[in-house]
Amino acid sequence: MTRLLGRFGLVIALAVLCAALSAARPSFLTLGNLVNLIRQISINGILAVGVTFVLLTGGVDLSLGSLVALTGVAAALFAHPGEYPVIAPVVAGVAAGALCGAASGAVITVGRVAPFIVTLGMMTAARGLALVASGGRPVSNLSPEFTALGGGQVLGVPVPVIVLAAVAAAAWVVLARFRMGRHVYAVGGNENAARASGIRVGRVKMFVYTLCGALAGLAGVVLAARITTGQPNAGVGYELDAIAAVVIGGTSLSGGVGGVGGTVLGALLMGVINNGLDLLNVPSYYQQIVKGVIIVGAVWMDRSQHKS
């Protein structure tokens, strides 16, 4: 309850935006467009949920965009028709992401190098790996079973939307109800105190970076399925969008405060802005100005709501 109320301003900002949009463009509030909108945020949403864990521990992960490319390529290599069952590319993508995440986590915990630097290095290196693995060209000719993960529907709901919902729900449970969730908040809130409370801080960090990598892998799989190709140059800048969604949603960059609920709201807000500006046909250059202003404005509103 308090958590939802904490994000009250954001909900209002979102509501105002939606009301304004549907007044200006009746097509905004159609079921078709709303499903469309949620499908559009699914990739960013999955990434944002993953990086929420990392930000909660006070870390950061800049490698997400590159990981999306690398894992999309990895998945695509196993997704040619008639070669492997459809689970193979999914496992390949998620495992590749988890592995990279774990590698970052290991350097961060063992080497005590700042997460910013480690994941920046991973961002560069994973992009190179994606290019090497794909020979620099898109990996295409993917099986229809695989591409259904991006373009298909189950009971009328697009698969990416289902994936996002499942991921967000699971993440919420872990953060709110599991010991690991408590420990994530503890490490971010006060690392020394967490250590003094007997929490194995290294393990918690390994967990969050590995999880974040794995979810980036999942996002990479969904993206590859959606665009029906493993694209080594995909995902540039996705990390900033994901982190933005998390921070808009009220998770502090210094760790310890926030949660997945806010993150989903944040991703939604960004999706509505993008979708709305396109619907309103705002010229591209002005879109960017308006987008920047709305994001800051919404968060400002949210923060002032907080104080009262």
Partner 1 sequence: MIQAKDISKSFAGVPALAGVSLEIRAGEVHALMGENGAGKSTFMKIVAGQLAADSGTVDSGGGRVAMIHQELMPFLDLTVAENITMGREPAGRFPGTVDRGAMRREARELLARLGSTIDPDRKMRGLSVAAMQMVEIAKALGWRADAILMDEPTSALAGHEADLLFEVIRDLRRRGVAVVYTSHKMDEIFRIADRVTVLRDGRSVATHAASELDERRLIALMVGRELTSQRPAGGAARTETALSVKGFGGAEFEVRKGEIVGMIGLMGAGRTELASAIYGLAPGQGEVRVNGRVATIGSPADAIRHGIAMVTEDRKGSGIVPRMSVRENLTLASLGAVSRGPWVSRAAEAEAARGQMSGLAIKARGPEQEIATLSGGNQQKVMLGRALLARPEVLILDEPTRGIDVGAKTEVHELIRRLAREGKAILMISSEMPEILAVSDRILVVREGRVTAELDPRTATQEQILAHAMPEAG
Partner 2 sequence: GRTGQGPKQPVIGVSMMNLSNEFIAMLNKGMEAKARELGVTLIVNDAQRNAEKQVQQVESFVAQKVDAIILNPSEVEASSPAVDRAVAAGIPIVNVNSETRSAPSAFVGSRDEESARIAMEYIVKRLGGRGDIVMMHGFMGQAAQLKRDQGAREVLRKNPGVKMLADQTAEWDRAKAMSLMENWIQSFGPKIQAVFAQNDEMAMGALMALEQAKMKDKVIVVGVDSIADALEAVKAGRLDATVFQDAKGQAGAAVETAVKLIRKQPVDKQVYIPFQLVTRDNVAQYLK
159-177 helix and 179-189 helix, angle to the nearest 10 degrees: 70
**Least distance to partner 1 from the beta carbon of 175, Å?**
11
Site for partner 2 in 104-133 (CB under 8 A): 127, 130-131
Q: Looking at 40, 63, 66, 71, which residue binds partner 2 (CB under 8 A)?
A: 40
Site for partner 2 in 137-156 (CB under 8 A): 137-138, 140-141, 147, 150-151
Q: Looking at 41, 51, 62, 75, which residue binds its own copies (CB under 8 A)?
A: 62
Look at residues 229, 204, 199 and name the one whose alpha carbon lies nearest to residue 69: 229
User: What track of x and - describes contact with partner 2 for positions 281 through 300 (by CB under 8 A)?
Assistant: x-xxx-x-------------
Q: What angle do CA 245, 114, 125 make, to 5 degrees?
A: 75
Q: What DSSP assignment string belongs to 212-273?
A: HHHHHHHHHHHHHHHTTSB-TTTTTTHHHHHHHHHHHTT--TTSSS--HHHHHHHHHHHHHH
**Least distance to its own copies from the beta carbon of 111, Å?**
5
**Least distance to partner 1 from the beta carbon of 110, Å?**
14
Question: Distance between CA 286 and CA 158 in Å, rounded?
Answer: 31
**Least distance to its own copies from the beta carbon of 200, Å?**
20
| Residue indicated by tokens 């794995």 | 214
Site for its own copies in 269-308 (CB under 8 A): 284-293, 295-296, 299-300, 303-304
For partner 2, the closer CB: 108 or 218: 218
3 state DSSP class of 8: helix
The answer to whether the Cα torsion of 157, 163, 165, 169 is positive or negative is: positive
Classify 295 in phi/psi space as left (phi over 0), alpha (psi -120 to 50) or beta: alpha
Q: What angle do CA 206, 209, 210 make, to 5 degrees?
A: 80
User: What track of x and - describes contact with its own copies for positions 129 through 158 (by CB under 8 A)?
Assistant: x-xx---x----------------------
Asked if 100 touches partner 2 (CB under 8 A), the answer is no
φ and ψ at residue 230, rounded to 5 degrees: -90, 110
DSSP 282: -
Site for partner 1 in 87-126 (CB under 8 A): none
Q: Looking at 131, 257, 279, 290, which residue binds partner 1 (CB under 8 A)?
A: 257
Residues forming the site for its own copies (CB under 8 A): 60, 62, 107, 111-114, 116-118, 120-129, 131-132, 136, 240, 243-244, 247-248, 252-254, 284-293, 295-296, 299-300, 303-304
Residues forming the site for partner 2 (CB under 8 A): 25, 27-28, 30, 32-33, 36, 39-40, 43, 127, 130-131, 134, 136-138, 140-141, 147, 150-151, 223, 226-229, 231-234, 236, 274-275, 278-279, 281, 283-285, 287
